[in-house]
Chain A
Amino acid sequence: MKAWKTMVAGAMSVSVLAACGGGDDGNEAASGNNNGGNTNETAENNSGNSNEGNSGNNGGGEGDVSGDITIWGWNVAAASMELAVEGFQEQYPDVNVTVEDIGREDVYDRLTVGLAAGGSGLPDVTLVETDRLDNYAAEFPDGFVNLSEHGFDEHEDKFVDSKVEAMKNDDGDFIYAPWDIGPAAVFYHVPTFEEAGVDPESIETWDDYMDAGEEILSATDSQMVPVDIAADDALFRMMLNQQGAYYFDEEGNIDLTSDEAVQAMSAIQEMEDRGLVQNTDGWDGTVTATVNQTVATVPFGVWYSGTIMDQAPDQSGDWGVFKLPAFEEGGNRNANLGGSDLAALSSSDNPEAAVAFVEYFTTDEEAQVAALDEYGIFPSLTEAYENEFFAEEDEFFNNQPIWEMFAEISEGIPAANYTSDYARAFRYSSDAQADALLQDTDVAEALQTAAEQLANETGREIN
């Protein structure tokens, strides 16, 4: 009797501990901690194998690469890769490619479980969003093929500068291959601006933007900008990025209390105080506000163009785009929001073919332009910007050559350090935004609190 009680008590405490380990972190990738030892071992074996098989084959000889590869992606990104399969097979006729269209969060769930389980059930290539890269690289350092060992370094100059750094591990090797980028700008509703008599060209600074917002509000009842106050700080991130700042500095120290951060959050608070902010509920709320013009502008990444075209097909010609306003006249008006990249997994049975696809897809101008043309996914491959597609005027967007504008923005985006704690920083920063806008907390104070909480959770230093 006594024996089983001890046993059960033991089992209980183990299960409680395990529960804490798995449960205290909303971030899926962290669940890999529990199995870390095991994982690394297996992954190392795998990557060892793959390197052996590849030595002397840097740069990829087209002829001898063959086999089947599977790729995970979501939605239009998966569809874009599907488009590229044909072109890929012209170069690599013996490789069969299967693109699996999985939900975005679902890719991460399966990727995390598969990596934590030592590489079972994984694809050969996967899509990962740029702000999650560091997280996976930190949790599963041996989970992905080192692309530099396959000669990816030669492509370094072909991509937008701000994108390249985020692709590398601590040793400066490419772990990920850069794909799409999210140059940010302000989408505005042309008839609303005309009705209020506001010229979008005249908006150069955030102060201009707020003044225009007030005019529009009094003339049309449309508010200026949608913000999902408690859940998403997208506007804040764009404002940080345009000033060359972010949640973290280059060393990975917490930078939420910087002058730039205070200036950005103060601007958003002022917009709220002047009645220009519509507090939208989640993604659907933002789309509803856009489609019904309860807001006159939406500052977002280039990918939002596809959303507007899909959800408001009858508003063709009613939408235009202008660059993000700057903080002072002549200041930087370029920022990034979003973006995703490709990685080849070390567990792949066919790493040469996986790397070949990653290399082909991310560096092929035609594949990149096709993805933009069909699905609005914007390349970070600067070569592609020379393509005539970029000079075209877009009918939906008021006959503006918007792609050219986004290309120009892309090249001026300052680099940002996302770090492995991006998800946590995002949460605390959004909390700070809610404090500042909904509770009228002093901006510097709200950001200080966020920075301290983040420091407590991550052990990083505050600047």
Chain B
Amino acid sequence: MNKQQSKGTVILKKIGLYALLLVGVLLSMFPFYWMFIGATNPSGEIFSIPPNLTPGDHFMENLQNLNESVGIWRVIFNSVFITLTFTILSVMICSAAGYAFAKYKFKGRDPIFFMLLLAIMIPYHVTLIPLFQLMASLDWLNTYYAVILPNLAYPFAIFLMRQNMRSIPDSLLEASRVDGAGEFRIFFTVVLPTMRPAIAAVAIFLFMFQWNNFLWPLVVLGDSDMHTLPVALSSLVGMSRIDYGQIMMGTTLSTLPIMIFFLILQKQFISGILGGSVKE
């Protein structure tokens, strides 16, 4: 009797828990659903009261209009190319730099690291104009270089990698050295594999940073052929006349890659969080 009751309470508790989670899911899904509704309806529909919650039949039309106004496929290619190149290069540079800061002793290491921390504190807008001037004199305006290169050594990512690299036992590195491995080999075959969760976290962070980056691509990528998604979407917002169908279609398209990227890396990401919880 007693046992049954407690079983009953367990089930009840579970139902309660799932109901609560379901509410959370619905709340977080709704904006995406609304976005999708907006993408499949004509522009004015989004203002109707009561709101229209069923998908409409304007999906293709909105997509066509969007393609006509911003050339969406080229824009998506730009965004994907810039973001992936940036993420891969930046992860390599930042983890190498983090490793050096964590594990090598060299003259001026601490002051350099301190400067790096300062760099995190400099507001972006302060560097905007000097950096723009630099790009202009290098004749890099309207090139992929201008968006990919300046932020490759991303201070916060270096900081994050350095903190993680500190947990690698020195004895492990020493053992590898005794076994005759060179410094590069140690870095690639011993250090990096143990750092996968941290790398995944940093990669997601850098990917999001570059994917959503707006002001910098806006100012350095003038040609509409070079626009990234946020810049192209922003160009759809005029003064008094806005086609919301196109904008919603664009936002829907721009959230997809982030979701895909996160789903791919999520296993690494979560195993990283759990990985530290059991130490044997």
Interface residues of A (CB under 8 A from B): 4, 7-8, 11-12, 15, 18-19, 21-23, 31, 34-35, 74-77, 100-106, 109-110, 113-114, 116-118, 120-121, 284, 287-288, 291-292, 294, 303-304, 306-307, 310-313, 338, 375-376
Is B163 part of the binding interface, using a Cβ–Cβ cutoff of 8 Å? no
Q: Is the CB of A23 within 8 A of B125?
A: yes
Asked whether A77 and B43 contact (CB < 8 A) given A8-B118, A23-B123, A35-B129, the answer is no
Inter-chain contacts of A19 with B (CB < 8 A)? 122-123, 126
Docked complex Cα distance between A103 and B215 (Å): 12
Report Cα–Cα, A109/B84, bound state, in Å. 26
Residues of B within 8 A of A310 (CB): 43-44, 241, 243
Tell whether B54 is near chain A: CB-to-CB under 8 Å: no
A24 CB to closest chain B CB (Å) equals 11
B89 at the A/B interface (Cβ < 8 Å)? no
Q: Are A288 and B133 in contact (CB under 8 A)?
A: no
Q: Hey, which bits of chain B sit against chain A, CB under 8 A?
A: 43-44, 47-49, 69, 108, 111, 114-115, 118, 121-123, 125-126, 128-129, 132-133, 136-137, 141-142, 215, 218-220, 222-224, 231, 234-243
What 8 A-B pairs have minimum CB-CB distances, sorted nearest first? A75-B238, A120-B136, A311-B44, A4-B111, A103-B234, A288-B47, A303-B240, A117-B133
Contacts of B48 in A (CB 8 A): 291-292
Q: Which residues of B contact A106 (CB under 8 A)?
A: 218, 231, 234-235
Question: Are B235 and A121 in contact (CB-based, < 8 A)?
Answer: no
Q: Which residue of A lies closest to B232 (CB)?
A: A103
* B-chain residues with CB within 8 Å of residue A307 when the two chains form the complex: 240-241
14 CB < 8 A contacts A-B: A7-B111, A18-B126, A75-B237, A75-B238, A75-B241, A103-B235, A110-B218, A117-B132, A288-B47, A288-B49, A307-B240, A307-B241, A313-B44, A376-B241
Minimal beta-carbon separation of B254 from chain A (angstroms) = 15
Structural contact, B115 and A11, CB atoms closer than 8 A: yes
The answer to whether residues A113 and B47 also contact, given A23-B123, A120-B132 and a CB cut-off of 8 A, is no
Would you call B136 and A291 a contact (CB within 8 A)?
no
Q: Are A113 and B44 in contact (CB under 8 A)?
A: no
Instruction: Say yes or no: B136 contacts A117, CB within 8 Å.
Output: yes
Q: Looking at the complex, which one of B69, B141, B219, B240 makes contact with A109 (CB distance below 8 Å)?
A: B219
Name the residue on B nearest A100 (C-beta).
B224
Bound state CA distance, A116 and B122, in angstroms? 19
Instruction: Note all chain B residues with C-beta closer than 8 A to A74.
Output: 235, 238-239
Q: Which residue of A lies closest to B133 (CB)?
A: A117
**Alpha-carbon gap, A179 to B242, bound state (A):** 21
- Docked Cα-Cα span, A104 to B44, in Å, equals 21
Q: How far is the CA of A307 from the CA of B243 in the complex (A)?
A: 10
Q: Which secondary structure dominates where chain A touches chain B?
A: helix
* C-alpha gap A109/B123 in the complex (Å): 16
Q: Chain B's interface: helix, strand, loop or mixed, by majority?
A: helix
Report B-chain residues with C-beta under 8 Å of the C-beta of A11. 115, 118
Contact A76 B224, beta carbon cutoff 8 Å: no
Asked if residues B44 and A109 are in contact (CB atoms below 8 Å), the reply is no
Q: Is the CB of B47 within 8 A of A311?
A: yes
Say how far A33's CB is from chain B's closest CB, in angstroms.
11
Q: How far apart sit A31 and B114, CA to CA, in the bound complex (Å)?
A: 28
> Cα distance A106–B234 when bound, in Å?
8
CB pair B132–A306 under 8 Å, yes or no, is: no
Contact in complex: A77, B238 (CB < 8 Å): yes
- Which single residue of chain B is at the shortest CB-CB distance from A306? B241
Residues of B within 8 A of A291 (CB): 44, 47-48
Do B136 and A101 have beta carbons less than 8 Å apart?
A: no
CB neighbours (8 Å) of B223 from chain A are 100
Verify B129–A34 contact, CB threshold 8 A. yes
Contacts of B142 in A (CB 8 A): 121
A105 to B108: give the CA distance in the assembly, Å: 44
B125 cross-chain contacts in A, Cβ below 8 A: 22-23, 31
Nearest Cβ distance between residue A279 and chain B, in whole angstroms? 16
In the docked arrangement, what's the CA distance between A100 and B218, Å?
13
Contacts A15-B122, A121-B219 given; indicate if A103 touches B237 (C-beta within 8 A).
yes
B202 to chain A, nearest CB (A): 24
| Closest A residue by C-beta to B70 | A101
Contact between B241 and A101, CB atoms less than 8 A apart:
no
B141 CB, nearest partner CB in chain A, Å = 5
Q: What residues of A have a CB within 8 angstroms of the CB of B123 in the complex?
A: 19, 22-23
Residues of B within 8 A of A120 (CB): 132-133, 136-137, 141
Considering the complex, give the chain A residue whose CB is closest to the CB of B235.
A103
Q: State the Cβ distance, A280 to closest chain B Cβ, in Å.
A: 12
Question: Are B238 and A113 in contact (CB-based, < 8 A)?
Answer: no
How far is it, in angstroms, between the C-alpha of A23 and the C-alpha of B121 when the chains are bound? 13
Contact B241 A76 (CB under 8 A): yes
A35 CA to B134 CA in the complex, in Å?
Answer: 14
List chain B residues, Cβ under 8 A from A294.
49
Q: Are B224 and A101 in contact (CB under 8 A)?
A: yes
| Residue among A109, A294, A338 with max Cβ neighbours from chain B (10 Å) | A109
Q: How close is A102's CB to chain B, nearest CB, in angstroms? A: 5
CA distance A11 to B69 in the complex (A): 45
State the Cβ distance, B70 to closest chain A Cβ, in Å: 9
List residues of chain B with CB within 8 A of the CB of A110: 218-219, 222
Of A8, A12, A103, A304, the contact of B111 (CB 8 Å cutoff): A8
Docked pose: A106 CA to B237 CA in angstroms: 10
| CB of B79, distance to nearest CB on chain A (Å) | 16
Q: Is the CB of B118 within 8 A of A15?
A: yes
**Which chain B residues border A35 with CB–CB below 8 Å?**
129
Q: Is the CB of A109 within 8 A of B218?
A: yes
**Contact partners of B240 in chain A: CB under 8 A:** 303-304, 306-307
| Min CB–CB distance A183 → chain B (angstroms) | 14
A105–B215 alpha-carbon span in the complex (Å): 11
- How far, in angstroms, from A18 to B119 measured CA to CA in the complex? 13
Chain A residues near B241 (CB-CB < 8 A) = 75-76, 306-307, 310, 375-376
A102-B235, A304-B240 given; 17 more Cβ-contact pairs under 8 Å: A4-B111, A8-B114, A23-B125, A31-B128, A74-B238, A75-B238, A77-B238, A100-B224, A106-B231, A106-B235, A109-B219, A113-B132, A117-B132, A121-B141, A291-B44, A311-B44, A313-B44
| A335, B123: Cα distance in complex, Å | 41
In the assembled complex, the Cα of A15 lies from the Cα of B43 at a distance in Å of: 45
